[in-house]
Structure 1
Amino acid sequence: MNMRDKEFNASTGGGPGGPADAGERNLAPGTDSPHAEADTGRAMGSSRPHESARAQVAGSAPYVDDIPEVKGTLHAAPILSSVAHGKLRGVDAAAALAMPGVRGVVLAADIPGDPMLATFVGDEPIFARDTVQHVGQVIGLVVADTVMQARRAARKVQPDISPLAPILSPRDAHAAKSYVLPPVTVRRGDADGALKQSVHTMTGHLEVGGQEHFYLEGQVAYALPLEQDQWWIHSSTQHPGEIQHWVAHALGLENNAVTVECRRMGGGFGGKETQAGHLAVWAALAARKFRRPVKLRLDRDDDFMITGKRHPFAYDYTVGYDGSGLVTALKLTMLANCGFSADLSGPVADRAIFHADNAYFLSDVEIVSYRCKTNTQSHTAFRGFGGPQGVIVIEAILGDIARRLGLDSLDVRLRNLYGVEDRNVTHYRMKVEDNILHPLIMQLERDARYRERRAEVAAWNAKGGVIRRGIAITPVKFGISFTATFFNQAGALVHVYTDGSVQVNHGGTEMGQGLNTKVAQIVADELGVPFERVRSTAADTSKVPNASATAASSGTDLNGRAAQFAARNVRDNLAAFVSGLDGCGAGAVSFAGGRVTTPKSTRSFDEVVKAAYANRIQLWSDGFYRTPKIHYDKATLTGRPFYYFAYGAACSEVAIDTLTGESRVLKVDILHDVGTSLNPAIDLGQIEGGFVQGMGWLTTEQLVWNDKGLLATHAPSTYKIPATGDIPAHFKVSFWHEANREDNVGGSKAVGEPPFMLAISVWEALRDAVSGARADGSAAGMPAPATAETVLRALR
C-alpha cells in the first residue's frame, strides 16, 4: 500500500471491506435485512431465490449459444466497414471464398424482402448498400462450417470504399444541420423574460459521454428453417415480438411464419431491445440462402464495433436564480449524438426532456432537443433510456449555483424541490401527485449523517494535502411507463395441470433481473399455492403475441399484472366449482397455503384441481393488462406519459488524488422507493447493480472515437467497467416504507432503472472534491465520465 492509498483509507477510517463497515452492504428496508421477513406463507414480499439461480451457479442454465446445434448448422460472421463514411463500390470476397469450410457470403442483393430494417423510421439498411456510415457497419456475412472459419474468412473480404468526410460529434452535426429526426421544443412560461428579471444568471456547457452495455452474453441469434417456409429463431432479445416482425419483413413473409423464443439473456440493459434484431435478421437471411440452420454470435470486439451505446449528449444552458438558489428561469439546449440512424433516438431524447427537471419545479423553461446524425454506431436504448442524460444536467446546474452562492448544494436542491399547489406540475404538464421527495431526502440526510460528514469533509480539506474529499446528496424522480403509450400492455397464460402444478408464460423476457421469479410469486399467491409449484417458461411469440419489449422498468408492472389476471380467472373457475359442491357463495371460497377452504370444508389444492378436471372445468386462462391513466400529445410532449414516479436519493462520499486525478468512492448511503417490495433481495440487487453501473458511466467507462471514426475503446483492455475493487466498503441500501399510491401489482414500484441515476451523487461528490481542492473553491467545468485525466484537468 503506497502513501496515497493510506491517505485514501485514513479518510474513511479503514480500507475496503474493513471492520468498521462489515456487513453494511446488505442492510435493507425496514427490516434490517432482505432475508429477515416474517414467514406469512405468501410468496410476494419475501426474498425468494431467483428462479434460475441454482442452475446458473451450476452452469446448467442454457443460453442461446448453449442450445444443442441441429445437424448441418452453419456459422456466420460479419463483414465490417473500416471507413466511417464513404461510397461502397463493391465487395471482393474471392480470398475468403477460397478458405477452408467457407460456404459463401450474404450481401444486400440476397435479401428477398425489404432491404431496410422494419424500424419505426425505416432509415437503416439491413446491410450497407451504396454507402457506409460508420466504422463497423455490417456490409454482409461470411458463412462457414465453423465459427472460427467464418470469422477468419470475414477478415479477408475486401470492401471497395471511397471515403467521404465523416461527422463525428453532435456539435459538428448540429453546425451542419445533420439530424436523424426533427428537433423538439418544450416550453412553459416565458424563459427569456424570466431570465431578464432574474437576480443572477449563469451560462454553461456540459459534455456527457455514452456507455457500452457490456452484457456478459454478447449478441447472438440462431435461425432454423422449418417446413413450408416457416422459421424458428432463438434470440438473446428483450423484444421477441419485434424480432418476429423484423425477420418476417426481411424474408418477405407474414408474421405468423416466424416464431421467436428467448428463455433467458445474460444481461441486456437496453442493448438487446432493438439491436438484437439485427443479428436475428442476418442469421435468418443466411439460413434462407443456404437452406441450413445458421448461428451468428458476435465476439466482444465486433459487438463493440457494430452495436450502439448509450447516447452521448452535449448541453448549452443559461439559468436564472435568486440569492437562495431558487431557479427562476432556464433555457436548455440538448444535443443527442444519435449515430447514423434513428433507432430509438426519438423516444430516448424525449425522455431526456421529460427528466430534465429531475426532482425540481421549473417555472419558466425552454428545452430544445436536437437529434444529431453522426458517423458512429447507431446509439440505442440503455438503462434509464435518456433519463440519466436529463437528470445529470439539472444536477450539474444546481451544484454550480450552490458553489457560486457559497451555499450547501443540498440546501439548494431542497429549495428547488417539487412541492404542493403551484409547484407540483412538470414542464410537460403532468401533476406530481405522489411526491415523497422532501421526507425521503430528509430521512437520508439524518441516516447518513450528511451535515456532520459535510463538516468533516471541510475540515479534512482545510488541512491541505494530496487527498481531497467531496460529498453530495442527489435525488431522483423517475417516470414509470413506456413513453410510447401503446407499448403499455401485456398478456400472459397460466396453466394449472391435473397434479396441481402451475406453469406461467408471459410476454416479458428474463435478463437476470428476476422478472420470472416475481411473476411466479404473483401467480403463486393468486392461486394460494407454494411458490415452488409455479414454473415460468420461455418468452415465445407463439404463446403470447404482440408483446412489448421488456424495458422501461415496466416488466413486472405489465407482465406481473397480466399473469395475476390469468391466474385469477383460473381461481375464479375453481371457486365457482367448489362453491357448487359446498352450497356457498364463490366469494366464501379462499385459496392459501395450498388449501382451498369454504365455511364447510378444507381441501388440498391438488384435490380440487383433480375434481375440477373430472368435471370439465377450465384449468387454464389468459390474462391481459393495459396501464391506466396515461396519455400525452406526441406533437407537444405534454400530458401524462407516466403512471407513477419512483423516487430515491443517494449520499456519496469520495476522495481524489490531486497529483494523479485518481478517485475512489468511499461511502454510499441509499434510500430508495420500491413501494411494497415483491422480492426484497432481488430489489436490493437491482439497486446495488444499477448504482454501480451508473457509477461506471460517470467515472471509468469512457468511449473514445479517433478522428477517423474508429472506436478505440473496443475491448476490456481499454474500456473499464467497475470491478470488485471499486465497490465502496460502506454501501448501505434502505427502502422507503410506503406502498405505491397507484394501484400497481402488490403495491410495488419498478426498480430496474431509477437507481441508476442515484450514481449522479458520485459525480457531484467528485465535483465537490475538485472544488474543495481549488484555491478559490470555485466550480470547475468537468465533463463525464470523470476519469483520472478528466479530474486532473479540472483541478488545473
Structure 2
Amino acid sequence: MSLREKPEVMLRHVRKPLLHDSAVKQVQGAAPYIDDLPEPAGTLHVAVGGAPKAHGTIATLDLDRVRQAPGVVAVITAADIPGKNCVSAHMEDEPILAADMVEFHGQPLFAVAATSRDAARRAVRLARIEIAAAPPAVTVDDGLETGARVLPDYAFLGGDPNAAIADAPLRASGTLRMGGQEHFYLEGQIALAIPGEDGAMLVHSSTQHPTEVQHIVARALGVPDAFVTCEIRRMGGGFGGKETQACQWAAIAAVAARVTGRPCKLRLDRDDDFMMTGKRHDFRADWSVGFDQEGVIAGLDVLLAARCGMSADCSAGVVDRAMFHADNTYHLPAFRIDTRRVKTNTVSNTAFRGFGGPQGILAAERVIDAIAWRLGRDPLDIRKANFYGPGRDRTPYGQVIEDHDVGRALIEQLERMSDYRARRAEIAVFNASSPILKRGLALTPLKFGISFTLASMNQAGALVHVYQDGSVHLNHGGTEMGQGLFQKVAQVAAEEFGIGLDRVRITPTSTEKVPNTSPTAASSGSDLNGMAVQAACRTIKTRMIAFAAEHWSVPEDQVVFENDHVLIGNQRIGFGELARAAHCGRVSLSSTGFYSTPKLHWDRERGTGHPFFYYAWGAACSEVLIDASTGENKVLRVDILHDVGRSLNPAIDIGQIEGGFVQGMGWLTTEELVYDAEGRLLTHAPSTYKIPVASDVPADFRVALYDGANREETIYRSKAVGEPPFNLAVSVFCALADAVEAACPGAGQKLDAPATPEAIVTAIGDFDVVAALAGALAPNS
C-alpha cells in the first residue's frame, strides 16, 4: 500500500481546495519579484534603444551623445557581445542587438548601462539613428503578397477534399481574420545579471524557461552553459510571453554585466515591452466546406496564414498546433489543412496561452456556424452531428480519439445545466420584437491536446531532500507564474510522505539544482513536474521503508506513512524520528526524480502519429447582448463545464478556468493590436489597448468541474488546466456572431475577431439602423 496510490478517502492534501502558496503575500504586496530583490552594491540599470523604422539598413548609429550623458557607464552594441549575437534557440534568425539590418519598428539596436534607470532611459533618447528605409510588410496580406516565409509551408491532407466538397449537396466558403494579443503580464520583462568569479554569471530572470535563458546567455557570453545559472522564484504572469522572449533581456543584462564587471538590471518600460516583445499570432483563415442537408461535413479545405513577424521564434509549433486543433471536436472525412508561416516586418510573434490552438478552434467553429446559418438550424445541433464518435474517431493527424464519449457526455450535460434549449427559444422571441438590441447564444465544445508537440520537451526533473528533522526541500524544473504549480507539486510531495504542507519547503527554480529543464508551457507543468517530484519522493520513501523494515524487523508492507507519522508494524513514530534514524543508519535521504511522457510519437514529414498523451475536454455556453446601431456589447451569462480529471486542487483549477476564459474573452472582444502602414504599433500602452476589467466579467458566471478521472496514468489522474479554458471563450465570439446574424441575416459570417463595437458595426454593414430605429419609435409600431 505504501507506494501505491492511496484511495481518495485517505488523501490528505491532493484533490483538496487549498490556498495558493503565495496568495496571502501577493495580496499584502509582500511576495518578492525580481525588481523587489535587494540590489547588490554597484548595480547598474540598463535601458534599450530601438529602431525608428520597421525595415531597412542601418545607415548611421551615432552614440557619442549617449556615452557622454550623465550617469552612463557603458554603451553596448552588437560589437560588444563576446559570443554569438543570436537570441534564437533553433533558427539563428534573430540577433540580440541588430548590427546591419532592422526588421521591425523598435528592434533593439543598443543598450545603455547607467547609475540609475532614469539616467539610462534619458541617455537612450540621445542616439542619432538613420535608417535607409525599405517598404515594410506589416499585415498577413502584405506577407502573403511578398511571398516571404519564416518557415516552409506545411499541410495535412486526407482523402480528396476537392472532390468531397464538389460532390457534396451543399457548399459554403469564407474568410475569418483573427487578431493577435498582447500578453499584458503584470510584471514586465526583467533580468538581473550578477557576475561571479572565473567568468560565472548568475541571472535572475522572469522566465518560463530557465534552461533556455541559461543557454542563450552562455552563448552570448561565449562560455559553457555550466558557467551560467538562471534562477526564478515567481513571475507576475507569463502566459507564454516569457517562454522564449525573456532570453533577449537576460542576455543584454548579462553582456552589460560582463562589460562593466558590475551587476546589471534591465526592466523594460511598458511601452517598450509592448513594442519590443512578441504577441499571439494573428491569423487569416480561408475555408471552404461541403456538407449535406443534416449539416454533416463531407470535406473541408482550410488555409491558415499566420503573421509570424521577422523571425521564426515559436512559429513552427504555434502554427502546427493550430493545425492540430482545426478539427476541434469534429470528424473530417476528407480534409486539407494548409498553412503559411508569413514573414512580416513586425516584432516576432511567440507563444501565448493556447499556442495556436485557439486560432484553429475558432476557424473550426466559424465553419460550423456558417453551415447552421445556411441550413437555418441551431448551431448546437450541427456541432453534435459532426462530433467524433464510434467509427468516426481518427483525427487529421492520425491519432485515434479514444475518449470521445467524455466530450459528448460533457456537452450534453452542459446543455441541460445551462437550460440551453429554453433560452434559445426565449432569445428568438426577444430578437423578433427588438429591432436594435439583439441577443445571441452559443454553446461550443472543446478538445485540447495535452503534450508538447516537440517530443524532447516532454520530460522533467526534480530534486528532493529530506532533512533529519523530517522537513522536506523541494525543487523542480517548473516555474511559478501565478498558476499554482508550486502549490500543487508541494501537495504531491506532502501526500507522498504523509506529512503536513508546512513541512515542505518550496524553493526557487534554478538551473543549478535541476538541469536541462523544459519550459513551463503547453499546460504540462503539473503533469511533468508532479510526476518527477513523485518519483523522487518514492525513491527516498522506498529507502526509508527498507531501512524501517530491517531495523524494526517487520515486513515492508507494514511500513505506512500517514499524518506526520510512520506506522511500523504495531509502532507509531514521527516522520522526523524515522528520518533521523535512517540518517544514522547511513541511508541517503536525497534523490533526483525524472519523468518522460509515455506513448508519444509524431512523424511530421508524414503528418501522422500520436502527438498528445491525452485530451482535455470542455464546453461553454455564453449569452450576449449587442446594440446593432453602435456595436456595443455585453456578456450576460456564461456556463462552463470543464474536464480536469481528478483535480489536484479544485480551488486553483476553477481559478484557472475563470481567468483563462476571461483572457480569451479579451482576445475575442476588446484586445485589438493596431499597426500603422509603417509598422508602428499604435496600441502600445494601457491607454490604447483594452484588456478585460472587472466590469467586463459576466455577472452570472457559473463554472463546474466535470466528474471524471483521467484514463491515462497522470499525477493522481488529474488533467492539465492552464491553456484549455482559454479556448472556451470561443463561445462568446460565436454568441456575438449569432446576435449579428439575428440583426442582419448573412452578417454573422462577416464578423472578424476581435469583435469590437467597430467590427460588429462593420459586419452588420448594410443594416439600416436609422430605418429600424425609426420603425421602433413610430407611434403605431
Q: Which residue of 1 aligns with 2:248?
A: 278
Q: Structure 2 regions of 5+ residues with no counterpart?
A: 1-7, 766-781
Q: What TM-score, normalized to structure 2? A: 0.96
Q: CA deviation at 1:119?
A: 1.6
Once the two structures are TM-superposed, the CA of residue 97 in structure 1 deviates from its matched residue by 2.2
- Provide closer, same or farther for how the CA distance between residues 649 and 709 of structure 1 changes in structure 2, counting only shifts above 3 A: same
Matched residue type, 2:24:
R
Match for 2:395 among 415, 422, 426?
426
Q: Provide the C-alpha distance between the structure 2 equivalents of 1:702 and 1:630, rounded to a whole number of angstroms.
A: 37
Which of 130, 154, 167 lines up with 1:184 in the alignment? 154
Corresponding residue of 2:54: 84
The aligned counterpart of 1:677 is 647
Q: How far apart are residue 438 of structure 1 and its match?
A: 1.0
Q: Distance in 1 between matches of 2:65 and 2:91?
A: 37
Who is 1:148 aligned against?
118
1:94-493 to 2 correspondences below 5 Å: 94-421=64-391, 423-435=392-404, 436-493=406-463
**Are the aligned partners of 1:118 and 1:249 in contact in 2 as well (CA < 8 Å)?**
no
Q: Aligned to 1:577, which of 547, 567, 571?
A: 547
Deviation at 1:41, TM superposition (A): 5.5
Match for 2:633 among 663, 688, 693? 663
Alpha-carbon shift at residue 637 of structure 1 (Å): 2.8
Q: Is structure 2 residue 550 aligned with structure 1 residue 603?
A: no
CA distance in 1, matches of 2:625, 2:64: 57
Deviation at 1:39, TM superposition (A): 8.6
Kept after mapping to 2: 8 A contact 1:41/1:593 = no
- What is the CA distance between 1:466 and its match in structure 2? 2.5
* Paired residues of 2:747 and 2:764 also in contact (CA < 8 A): no
SS in 2 for 1:76: strand
In the TM superposition, what whole-angstrom CA distance separates every residue of 1:166-211 from its partner, at most 9, and x where no partner exists? Answer: 1111122112210000000110111111112111111111110000
Structure 2 residue 780 is matched with structure 1 residue 790: no
For 1:543, the equivalent position in structure 2 comes to 513
CA deviation profile, 1:370-400 (whole Å, cap 9, x unmatched):
1000000100000000000110001011011
**Maintained 8 Å contact 1:191/1:364:** yes
Q: 1:591 aligns with which of 556, 561, 566?
A: 561
* Aligned residue type for 2:458: N
Q: Aligned letter for 2:728?
A: L
> How far apart are the structure 1 equivalents of 2:381 and 2:554?
61
Q: Deviations over 1:549-577 (max 9, x none)?
A: 00000000000000001011111111111
Q: 1:404, 1:779 within 8 Å by CA — same for their partners in 2? A: no
1 CA distance for matches of 2:604 and 2:508?
A: 34
Q: Distance in 1 between matches of 2:566 and 2:591?
A: 19
Q: Is the 8 A contact 2:747 2:763 kept in 1?
A: no
Equivalence for 1:5: none
Per the normalisation by structure 1, the TM-score is 0.94
* Residue identity opposite 1:124 in structure 2: E
SS in structure 2 at match of 1:105? strand
Give the distance between the partners of 2:291 and 2:748, measured in 1 at CA. 16
Structure 2 residue aligned with 1:494, among 420, 445, 464? 464
How far apart, in 2, do the equivalents of 1:314 and 1:557 lie? 33
CA distance in 2, matches of 1:637, 1:140: 42
Instruction: Provide the residue aligned with 2:474 in structure 1.
Output: 504
Q: How many residue pairs are counted as aligned between the two chains?
A: 757
Task: Please point out which of 18, 22, 33 is paired with 1:63.
Answer: 33
Deviation at 1:599, TM superposition (A): 2.6
- Asked if 1:75 corresponds to 2:45, the answer is yes
The letter for the 2-side match of 1:550 is T
Partner in structure 1 of residue 769 of structure 2 = none
Residue among 596, 603, 622 paired with 1:633:
603
Deviations 1:189-235 (A, max 9, x none): 11111112111111111110000000000000011100000000000
Query: Using the alignment, how far apart are the partners of 1:636 and 1:720 within structure 2?
Result: 42
State how far apart, in whole Å, the 2-side matches of 1:420 and 1:154 are. 63
Query: Secondary structure of 2:38's partner?
Result: coil
Is 2:667 aligned against 1:697?
yes
Alpha-carbon displacement from aligned partner over 1:382-430 (angstroms, at most 9, x marks no partner): 0000000110001011011101100000000000001012x00100000
In structure 2, C-alpha distance between the alignment counterparts of 1:359 and 1:118, rounded to whole Å: 34
Opposite residue 528 of structure 2, the aligned amino acid is L
- AA partner of residue 794 (structure 1): A
Change (3 A) 1:778 1:154: closer
How far, CA to CA, are the matches of 2:650 and 2:725 in structure 1? 14
- When the two chains are superposed, the root-mean-square deviation of aligned CA atoms in Å is 1.1
154-163 vs 721-730, greater mean Cα deviation: 154-163
Does residue 652 of the first structure (1) align with residue 653 of the second (2)? no
1:781 alignment partner, one of 717, 726, 750: 750
Question: Contact 1:404–1:778 (CA<8 Å) still a contact in 2?
Answer: no
Structure 1 stretch displaced more, 234-243 or 50-59 = 50-59
Cα distance in structure 1, aligned partners of 2:11 and 2:320: 43
Per-residue displacement from partner, 1:506-544 (whole Å, max 9, x unpaired)? 000000000000000001111111122112110000100
Show the counterpart of 2:778.
none
Aligned-partner SS, 1:716 = coil
- Separation of aligned partners in 1, 2:687 and 2:27: 26
- 1:777 Cα offset (Å): 6.2
CA contact (8 A) 2:88 2:95 kept: no
> SS of the counterpart of 1:790?
helix
Aligned mates of 1:304, 1:660 — CA distance in 2: 29
2:488 paired with 1:518 = yes
Contact kept in structure 2, 1:326 and 1:415, CA below 8 Å: yes
Find the counterpart in structure 2 of residue 6 from structure 1.
none
**Alignment equivalent of 1:710, drawn from 651, 657, 680:** 680
Counterpart amino acid of 2:686?
P
SS in 1 for 2:680: coil
Give 1:317 shift.
1.1
CA 1:788/1:607 → structure 2, altered by over 3 Å: closer, same or farther?
same
Contact in 1 for aligned 2:88/2:313 (Cα 8 Å): no
In structure 2, how many angstroms separate the alpha carbons of the residues matched to 1:593 and 1:503?
Answer: 18
Corresponding residue SS for 1:652: strand
The amino acid of 1:574's aligned partner reads M
CA distance in 2, matches of 1:777, 1:208: 19
Contact 2:151 2:341 in 1 (8 A): yes
SS of the aligned residue for 1:419 comes to: coil
Tell me which amino acid in the other structure corresponds to 1:88: I
Whole-angstrom distance in 2 between the partners of 1:160 and 1:298 = 23
Map of 2:728 onto structure 1 = 758
1:473-516 per-position Cα deviation (integer Å, ceiling 9, x unaligned): 00110000000000000000111111111111000000000000
